[in-house]
Structure 1
């Protein structure tokens, strides 16, 4: 499994350096860093990291605003770092999947576990989204084939099995998916 790609956005170069060394030492790929909100958002859109670790008090648009855009636009997952007292400002984002608030000072093990969990969760979500899309496509194909079967049964006095076999045979003979054959039948008979 490939390593998570991470963008770091913090106001201090020293903080970026410390965090980068922890992440690289732990096997993660730090794709880049940003020192302000606008730069962070621009780089997140261009580099498409798995996660952006963002400081809540980031200059220019602030960490909260950048986190909100990144999560809502599904650019990447976000770990926001801030003082415990600032947590309330990010409460509306904590219900979003792909967003975690971590209070300062950062706990190395907690951060690494959070990154690992976020990456695994995102991969699982993407896998489920692909599966849902495949199921939708299969269902659409079934609907088209059922409609085409009904038209063949009505217009050619075929049994359901004969109508299905005719669609299936046309599909195999022509090397065209059954859904396309069904659409052609519907177009021809559904006037």
Structure 2
């Protein structure tokens, strides 16, 4: 598995440099560095990193606003570095308190990336299920139209659709859509 692409967002140049050295030492690709919120958001929109490591004191917007934009627009997963002397309310935001050990940070990064991968897999599966449900609804609707127009039962209507789909070398969904459109057109013509 290739190592993740990361953007570091910290107003402190020394902090960015230390973090970059640590991350590259572990084989991560640091795509970019940002010193303020607008710079970070611009780079994230251009690069779509796997993870943004964000210092909670970054200037230009609040931590919640930045995370809301990055995650809401699906630009990146975010890990916030929180200064323990300036605690913030970060209930549902992945974060780690400073100071942290290198091992702890690397473990948290791996967990963030793991959950992002799982989330992406679930999102893809949901997309497939939605598409499958839409397809099934359209096939059912087309089947209902054939049952009504041809006075056949459900099984026969489905067999007719399968045969027509094979004869025309088109998918069942395309055939279903054609049947639905033809029926809608016929209904509209009768209403005129």
What is the CA-CA distance between 1:59 and the residue it aligns to?
2.6
The correspondence of residues 131-150 of structure 1 with structure 2, limited to 5 A, is 131-150=125-144
Question: How many residues matched?
Answer: 185
- Which residue of the other structure, out of 104, 113, 123, is the alignment partner of 2:98? 104
- Contact 2:52 2:77 survives alignment (8 Å): yes
Which shifted more, 66-75 or 5-14? 66-75
- Contact 2:48 2:76 survives alignment (8 Å): yes
What is the CA-CA distance between 1:48 and the residue it aligns to?
0.9
Counterpart Cα distance in 1 of 2:66 and 2:147: 58
Query: SS at 1:103's partner residue?
Result: strand
CA deviations over 1:92-149 (Å, ceiling 9, x no partner): xx32xxx312111122111111111111111111111111111111111111111211
What is the CA-CA distance between 1:66 and the residue it aligns to?
2.2
Counterpart Cα distance in 2 of 1:164 and 1:65: 52
- Contact 2:84 2:99 survives alignment (8 Å): no
What is the CA-CA distance between 1:65 and the residue it aligns to?
3.4
User: Normalising by the residue count of structure 2, what TM-score does the alignment of the two structures yield?
Assistant: 0.88
Query: SS at 2:60's partner residue?
Result: coil
- Contact 2:79 2:112 survives alignment (8 Å): no
Please list every run of 5 or more consecutive structure 1 residues that lacks an aligned counterpart in the other structure: none
Q: 1:61 to 1:153 in 2, by over 3 A?
A: closer
1:164 aligns with 2:163: no
Query: SS at 2:54's partner residue?
Result: strand
What is the CA-CA distance between 1:175 and the residue it aligns to?
2.2
1:175 aligns with 2:174: no
What is the CA-CA distance between 1:67 and the residue it aligns to?
2.6
The correspondence of residues 59-138 of structure 1 with structure 2, limited to 5 A, is 59-87=59-87, 89-91=88-90, 94-95=91-92, 99-138=93-132
What is the CA-CA distance between 1:51 and the residue it aligns to?
0.9
Counterpart Cα distance in 2 of 1:174 and 1:8: 55
Counterpart Cα distance in 1 of 2:137 and 2:59: 53
What is the CA-CA distance between 1:72 and the residue it aligns to?
2.7
Query: SS at 2:86's partner residue?
Result: helix
Please list every run of 5 or more consecutive structure 2 residues that lacks an aligned counterpart in the other structure: 188-192
1:47 aligns with 2:47: yes
What is the CA-CA distance between 1:60 and the residue it aligns to?
2.7
Counterpart Cα distance in 2 of 1:188 and 1:64: 51
